[in-house]
Amino acid sequence: MPTRNHGKSGAVAEANHKTYEGLTRQQLIEIYRTMYTSRRLDDREILLKRQQKIFFQISGAGHEAVLVAAGMALKPAYDWFFPYYRDRALCLALGATPYEMLLQGVGAAEDPSSGGRQMPSHWGFKRLNVVTQSSCTGTQVLHAVGCAEVSRHLIAHPAAAEKVAGDYREFKDVKFYGDEVTYTSIGDGTTSEGEFWEAMNAASNLRLPMIFLVEDNGYAISVPVEVNTSGGNISRLVSQFPNFHFEEIDGTDPVVSYAAFTRAVAHCRAGIGPAFVHAHVIRPYSHSLSDDEKLYRPEIERQRDAARDPISRMQMFLIREGILDEKSINKIEKEVDQQIQEAADQALAAAPPDPESVMKYVYSPDLDPSSTAFDTQAAVSTGEAVRASTEAGEKKPAAKTMADLINATLHDEMKRDERIVVFGEDVADCSREEYLRQKMVKGKGGVFKLTSGLQCEFGSERVFNSQLAEATIVGRATGMAVRGLKPVVEIQFFDYIWPAMMQLRNELPVIRWRSSNAFSAPCVVRVAIGGYLTGGAIYHSQCGESIFTHIPGLRVVFPSNALDAAGLLRTAIRCDDPVLFLEHKRLYRESYGRAAYPGPDYMIPFGKAKVVHPGSDVTVITYGAVVPRALQAVHRLDREQGLKIELIDLRTLNPFDWDTIAASVSKTNRVIVAYEDTLSWGYGAEIAARIADQLFEHLDAPVKRVAAKDAFVPYQPVLESAMLPQVQDLYLAMKELAEY
Ligand SMILES: Cc1ncc(C[n+]2csc(CCOP(=O)(O)OP(=O)(O)O)c2C)c(N)n1
Ligand SMILES: [Mg+2]
User: What is the number of helices (H) and of strands (E) in the chain?
Assistant: 27, 19
Residue 66 alpha carbon to ligand 1 centre in Å:
19
pLDDT of residue 7: 42
Q: What is the pLDDT of residue 391?
A: 45
The count of other CB atoms within 10 Å of the CB of residue 735 is 18
C-alpha 526, offset from chain centre: 14
- Looking at the CA of residue 216, tell me the nearest atom of ligand 1: 16
Can you state the angle between helices 470-482 and 140-156, rounded to 10 degrees? 60
* Atom of ligand 1 minimally distant from the CA of 138: 1
CA distances from 68 to 32, 37, 60 (A): 9, 11, 11
**What's the gap between Cα 227 and its chain centre?**
29
pLDDT at 381: 73
Measured CA to CA in angstroms, residue 384 lies from 378, 388, 563 at distances of 11, 7, 10
Scanning 292-401, the segments in alpha helix (DSSP H) are: 299-306, 310-320, 326-348, 383-391
Q: How confident is the model at residue 201 (pLDDT cuts 50, 70, 90)?
A: very high
Q: What are phi and psi of 463, to 5 degrees?
A: -135, 110
Residues 620-647: what's their mean pLDDT?
98
Segment 315-327 shows an average pLDDT of 97
Res. 3 pLDDT band, cuts 50 70 90: very low
Atom of ligand 1 nearest to the CA of 191: 15
pLDDT of 13 strictly over 60: no
Task: Identify which of 190, 196, 212, 297 to mutate to test ligand 1's pocket (most ligand atoms within 8 A of the CB).
Answer: 190
Orientation angle between helical segments 98-106 and 326-348, nearest 10 degrees: 40
Which of 245, 280, 540, 584 is catalytic? The answer is 540
Share of the chain above pLDDT 90, in %: 94
5: pLDDT confidence band, cut at 50, 70 and 90?
very low
- For residue 395, what pLDDT band results from cuts at 50, 70 and 90? low
Q: Residue 396 pLDDT more than 50?
A: yes
Q: Which pTM does this prediction carry? A: 0.95
Residues with CB under 6 A from ligand 1: 86, 135-137, 186-190, 215, 217, 219-221, 287
Residue 10 pLDDT greater than 70, yes or no = no
Kindly tell me if the per-residue pLDDT of 1 is higher than 90. no
Q: Which pLDDT tens digit goes with each residue over 34-89?
A: 999 999 999 999 999 999 999 999 999 999 999 999 999 999 999 999 999 999 99
Residue 694 pLDDT exceeds 80: yes
Which pLDDT tens digit goes with each residue over 437-484? Answer: 999 999 999 999 999 999 999 999 999 999 999 999 999 999 999 999
Q: Is 584 a catalytic site residue?
A: no
pLDDT at 394: 52
Atom index in ligand 1 nearest the CA of residue 221 equals 11
Any idea which ligand is nearest the CA of 87? Answer: 1
Residues contacting residue 739 through CB under 8 Å, at least 6 positions apart: none
CA of 137 to the centre of ligand 1 (A): 5
pLDDT of 4 reads: 39
Q: Which residues of 428-454 are buried (b: 16+ CB within 10 A; e: fewer)?
A: bbbeeeeebeeeeeebbbbbbbbbbbb
Q: Which pLDDT score, from 0 to 100, does residue 17 have?
A: 75
Closest-approaching ligand to the CA atom of 58:
1
Cβ atoms of 197 and 241 within 8 Å: the answer is: no
* pLDDT above 70 coverage of the chain, percent: 96
Q: For 318, how many CA atoms within 13 A lie in the half-sphere containing its CB? A: 26
Contact 634, 738 (CB under 8 A): no
Mutate to test the pocket of ligand 1, among 221, 278, 283, 510 (most ligand atoms within 8 A of CB): 221
Average predicted confidence (pLDDT) for the chain: 95
Question: For every residue of 265-281, which 3-state class applies, written as one string?
Answer: HHHHHCCCCCEEEEEEC
Asked if 518 contacts 126 with a C-beta cutoff of 8 angstroms, the reply is yes
Residue 121 Cα to ligand 1 middle (Å): 14
How far does residue 722's CA lie from ligand 1's centre (Å)? Answer: 45
Length of the chain: 740
User: What would the pLDDT profile of 524-542 be if each residue is shown by its tens digit?
Assistant: 999 999 999 999 999 999 9
Over residues 557-581, the pLDDT tens digits come to 999 999 999 999 999 999 999 999 9
Residue 224: is the preceding peptide bond cis (ω within 30°)? no
What is the Cα–Cα distance from 700 to 119, expressed in whole angstroms? 49
Per-residue confidence (pLDDT) for residue 380, from 0 to 100: 79
Mean per-residue pLDDT for 395-423?
94
| Residue 218 CA, ligand 1 centroid: distance in Å | 12
Contact criterion met (CB below 8 Å) for 382 and 596: yes
- Taking the C-alpha atoms of residue 47 and residue 54, their distance in angstroms, rounded to an integer, is 9
Using the 8-state DSSP alphabet, how is residue 121 labeled? T
Q: How far is the CA of 132 from the centre of ligand 1 (A)?
A: 17
Q: How confident is the model at residue 389 (pLDDT cuts 50, 70, 90)?
A: very low
Decide: helix, strand or coil at residue 426: coil
- Taking residues 405-418, what's their average pLDDT? 98
Closest C-alpha residue for ligand 1 atom 12: 220
Mutate to test the pocket of ligand 1, among 137, 141, 219 (most ligand atoms within 8 A of CB): 137
Which ligand 1 atom lies nearest to the CA of residue 137? Answer: 26
pLDDT in tens, 335-354: 999 999 999 999 999 999 99
